[in-house]
Homo-oligomer: A and B are copies of this chain.
């Protein structure tokens, strides 16, 4: 049975398996590179990226949501990043739930350096696709349910 003969749902299953495989492959390569080049982990990198993107910081709830992980997992990461001076907690008097975490200046500088290299790794991993194909793929992926960006 050729690809063209497969039923619509089989073709969708094949797309899902390719999506998963591409995602896992890229994530594995990036995980190994942030470890060897920056001595850090992808979850830490993702926390820094989310805080960087936010500008003036996020509540723990917003951060968990941005990372699609549980609050519990984020708390430990934030504790360590705070100890290392990359992240600071910003409290709001009388409103514990409004407390935010944000990058320190040093955290911003360090993240920008890592992000620039990370961006080049991603470009390299997607290097077989032309600019037009990149745009096509982006538009198609943006239409998968639940992906609202």
Contacts and interface: CB of A to CB of B under 8 A. Distances in A.
Interface of A: 3, 8-29, 68, 119-120, 122-123, 125-129, 131, 133-138, 140-147, 149
Main secondary structure on chain A at its contact with chain B?
helix
A28 B123 contact: no
- State the 3 A-B residue pairs at the shortest beta-carbon distance, nearest first: A23-B23, A9-B123, A25-B146
Nearest to A128: B143
Given A8-B131, A23-B19, A126-B15, A68 B140 contact: no
Contacts of A27: 20
B11 A144 contact: no
Nearest to A145: B125
